[in-house]
């Protein structure tokens, strides 16, 4: 099942544009003397463009339909796995985390065949290690 | 004017063994990943850009060109065999390729795609080599005001990518520009929107943004659609007739006008930034069908349908480099990624490139021509193998692609901070694509953003803030008029293409 999306995305963009203009830009853009354009000029103009565009979409949405919520949930789950994997890399490094991350992703996708699991979880990280550290002489993360 | 000795030295560089080896590697990788449904040359280029760090500029860019060209040939394989185009460009190829494959001629269909792709590509490369140097000389005569007008023109041609909603296109461009303002202000160098993270002071890393939005977001989308199922392999039908496995000279020659029309269509549309190869393929297909004595045979396995689509979509690649090399304006995501490779190697695409790096540019031209021949050769040898590639499980393909993205971005940004930025933009890209906002517009606007702001500042300084002084710059005025005309024309053309595609879908 798909769902109409423009009102939702338009509302989010409208709020985002206003938040940028009224809260974020005044706080996080340092002002400077001189110059032809103030540092906040372009961000302010763009924030207004986004807010007005968002409001327009709320008032006059296109027939665009977005995916079912369960697809978003699955994408979120895969995104969370990626985040966890990259966080783990900051502690243990690519060499130890990559095989586990690849294995988890493949199992979640539904792969159960041992030879493909071995290729993805051991073969590919090994190939990347050889290519990066031995051939290109670079460090892995 | 570039001297003859520079041109010859450039072509000499292109034919060096090391350069040819990287072109070959790029073509093989491009054809391989193009054959995998869901990966495609853009994602492959996005992943490959950081790996070119360790190379000299010419092999690095020639390698990426090889990936791009090979990817277009490889993209036709799943389109023909599974009716699942590996790249959007190959969607028109599937219209006749898939019926031909189903009738027991998968190799004939893929070989026709290969031959017409190389023919169209070579045509557009010759046009590129011929016209880009004179255009660059013209571009060199421009000052800051003209460059600002040119930047406005560049943004106006983004209208060609807008799609169904102008408002969404404007929002995508505004978001791209807004994210481009993160970092330091170009005039005063004060920190802007960095939220205390000094890693952002030099701006968001292009590699993180491009790979996050183009590669990881697409992988997330594809993974979300698998639902715990690993896609099944396909069954190929083989009639056993040798004639069904090859394209005869008579068959190729009978398509000569179709391929010429496709190549011209692709070259013209490719030279206009923002229109893209998918539109070129569908337009060429529609023109060929309309000009045919037997239009009813299209969509049922007519080899001319494959020739029309493939010659046009491949011709766009070479022509896309015309605005990139002469004006520094990327006409497509592929071109934007090639620009990022130029920048990684400290080169700024634009008219000065011919003056400062003429040898490199002509080396690149030589590499492009070589890539076409290598594409043909690798395709001839490899098509049987690429046909097997479409059966590789997505579980291995996507998990490997994710690992390569992580490594590639960490190499490009010297650490995992860039990888974290990549993840943020993967999420943004996924949401934007799901809600119908153009990622291509976002990426091109993100790339052009800093130059636009600098151009505005320089122009204001030169005109003392008096906009009426622009009238003293006739080239700038002409470019601004062209911008208005381009927006009107591209929006009209965009709607016409959509109508054509809808009509074509209804007829097939």
Measured CA to CA, the distance from residue A10 to residue A12 in angstroms comes to 5
What tens-digit pLDDT sequence spans chain A (141 residues)? 555 688 999 999 999 999 999 999 999 998 887 778 899 999 999 999 999 999 999 998 888 888 788 899 999 999 999 999 999 999 999 999 999 999 999 999 888 889 989 999 999 899 889 888 887 777 888
Q: Where are the domains of chain B?
A: 4-232+244-507
Residues constituting chain A: 141
Q: Would you state the pLDDT for residue B233?
A: 44
d(CA B83, CA B100): 11
Nearest CA in chain B to A10: B168
Task: Tell me the shortest Cα–Cα distance from A22 to chain B, in angstroms.
Answer: 14
Could you give the C-alpha distances from B417 to B205, B414, B500, in angstroms and in order? 10, 8, 45
A125 in contact with B, Cβ within 8 Å: yes
Q: Which residues of B89-106 are buried (b: 16+ CB within 10 A; e: fewer)?
A: bbbbbbbbbbbbbbebbb
CB of A89 less than 8 A from some CB of B? yes
Cβ pair A75:B453 closer than 8 A = no
Cβ-based contacts of B416 with chain A (< 8 Å): 86, 89-90, 141
Enter the tokens of residue B488. 């009107």
Q: Is B210 exposed, middle or buried (0-12, 13-18, 19+ CB in 10 A)?
A: buried
Contact criterion met (CB below 8 Å) for B61 and B14: no
Residue B11: the pLDDT is 86
CA distance B314 to B41: 12
Contact criterion met (CB < 8 Å) for B223 and A29:
no
**Alpha carbon distance B424, B209 (integer Å):** 9
User: What's the Cα-to-Cα distance from B207 to each of A86, B33, B325, B348, rounded to whole Å?
Assistant: 17, 19, 20, 16
Residue with tokens 């091109």: B444
Would you write out chain B's pLDDT as a tens digit for each of its 508 residues?
667 888 888 888 888 898 999 999 999 988 888 777 656 677 778 778 877 877 888 898 889 889 888 888 887 787 777 666 655 667 778 788 888 887 888 888 888 888 999 999 999 899 888 888 777 777 777 778 887 887 787 777 666 666 667 888 889 999 999 999 999 988 888 899 999 898 899 899 887 888 888 778 888 988 888 766 665 445 566 666 777 778 888 888 988 899 999 898 888 877 766 556 777 787 788 788 878 888 778 888 888 889 998 898 888 878 888 888 887 777 677 787 888 788 878 887 777 787 788 888 889 899 999 999 999 999 888 877 777 776 678 888 888 888 988 988 888 787 889 999 999 999 999 999 999 898 878 887 887 888 888 888 888 888 887 878 888 888 889 888 988 887 888 778 767 766 776 666 666 5
B365 by DSSP, 3-state: which?
A: helix
Q: Rg of the Cα trace of chain B?
A: 22
Residue B265 and residue B243: Cα distance in Å, rounded? Answer: 31
Residues A34-71: b if buried by 16+ CB within 10 A, e if exposed = ebbbbbbbbbbebbebbbbbbbbbbeebbebebbeeeb
- The answer to whether A42 and B177 have CB atoms below 8 angstroms apart is yes
CA angle, residues B298, B304, B309, in degrees to nearest 5? 90
> How near does any CA of chain A get to the CA of B21, in Å?
15
């Amino acid at each position: 099942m798909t769902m109409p999306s423009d009102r939702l995305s338009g509302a989010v963009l409208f709020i985002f544009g206003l938040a940028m203009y009224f809260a974020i830009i005044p706080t996080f853009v340092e002002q400077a003397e001189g110059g032809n354009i103030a540092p906040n000029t372009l961000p302010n103009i763009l924030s207004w463009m986004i807010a007005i565009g968002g409001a327009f979409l709320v008032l006059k949405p296109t027939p665009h339909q977005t995916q079912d919520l369960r697809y978003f949930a699955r994408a979120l789950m895969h995104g969370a796995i990626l985040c966890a994997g990259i966080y783990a890399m900051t502690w243990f490094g690519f060499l130890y985390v990559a095989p586990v991350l690849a294995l988890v992703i493949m199992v979640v996708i539904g792969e159960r065949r041992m030879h493909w699991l071995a290729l993805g979880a051991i073969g590919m990280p090994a190939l990347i290690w050889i290519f990066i550290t031995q051939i290109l002489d670079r460090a892995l993360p | 004017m570039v001297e003859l000795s520079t041109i010859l030295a450039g072509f000499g560089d292109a034919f060096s063994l090391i350069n040819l080896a990287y072109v070959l590697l790029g073509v093989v990788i491009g054809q391989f990943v193009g054959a995998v449904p869901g990966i495609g040359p853009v994602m492959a280029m996005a992943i490959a850009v950081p790996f070119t760090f360790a190379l000299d500029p010419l092999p690095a860019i020639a390698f990426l060109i090889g990936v791009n060209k090979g990817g277009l040939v490889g993209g036709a394989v799943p389109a023909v065999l599974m009716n699942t185009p590996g790249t959007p460009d190959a969607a028109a190829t599937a219209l006749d390729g898939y019926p031909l494959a189903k009738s027991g001629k998968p190799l004939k269909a893929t070989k026709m795609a290969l031959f017409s792709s190389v023919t169209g590509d070579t045509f557009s490369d010759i046009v590129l080599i011929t016209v880009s140097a004179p255009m660059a000389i013209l571009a060199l005569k421009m000052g800051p005001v003209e460059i600002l007008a040119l930047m406005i023109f560049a943004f106006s041609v983004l209208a060609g990518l807008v799609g169904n909603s102008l408002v969404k296109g404007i929002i995508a461009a505004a978001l791209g520009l807004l994210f481009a303002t993160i970092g330091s202000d170009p005039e005063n160098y004060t920190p802007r929107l960095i939220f205390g993270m000094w890693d952002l002071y030099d701006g968001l890393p292009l590699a993180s943004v491009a790979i996050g939005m183009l590669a990881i977001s697409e992988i997330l989308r594809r993974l979300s659609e698998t639902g715990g199922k690993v896609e099944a392999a396909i069954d190929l039908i083989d009639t056993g007739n040798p004639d069904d496995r090859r394209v005869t000279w008579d068959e190729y020659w009978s398509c000569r006008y179709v391929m010429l029309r496709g190549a011209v269509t692709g070259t013209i549309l490719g030279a206009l930034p923002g229109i893209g190869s998918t539109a070129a393929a569908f337009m060429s297909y529609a023109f060929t069908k309309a000009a045919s004595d037997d239009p009813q045979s299209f969509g049922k396995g007519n080899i001319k349908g494959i020739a029309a689509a493939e010659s046009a979509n491949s011709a766009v690649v070479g022509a896309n480099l015309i605005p990139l090399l002469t004006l520094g304006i990327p006409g497509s995501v592929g071109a934007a990624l090639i620009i990022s490779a130029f920048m990684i190697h400290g080169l700024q695409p634009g008219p000065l490139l011919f003056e400062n790096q003429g040898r490199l540019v002509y080396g690149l031209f030589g590499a492009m021509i070589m890539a076409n021949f290598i594409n043909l050769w690798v395709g001839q040898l490899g098509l049987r193998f690429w046909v097997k590639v479409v059966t590789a499980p997505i579980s291995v393909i996507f998990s490997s692609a994710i690992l390569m993205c992580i490594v590639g971005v960490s190499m490009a940004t010297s650490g995992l901070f860039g990888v974290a930025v990549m993840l943020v933009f993967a999420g943004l890209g996924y949401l934007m694509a799901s809600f119908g906002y153009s990622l291509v517009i976002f990426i091109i606007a993100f790339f052009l953003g800093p130059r636009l702001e600098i151009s505005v500042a320089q122009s204001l300084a030169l005109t003392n803030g008096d906009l009426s002084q622009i009238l003293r710059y006739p080239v700038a005025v002409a470019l601004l008029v062209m911008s208005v005309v381009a927006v009107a024309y591209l929006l009209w053309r965009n709607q016409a293409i959509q109508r054509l595609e809808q009509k074509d879908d209804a007829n097939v």
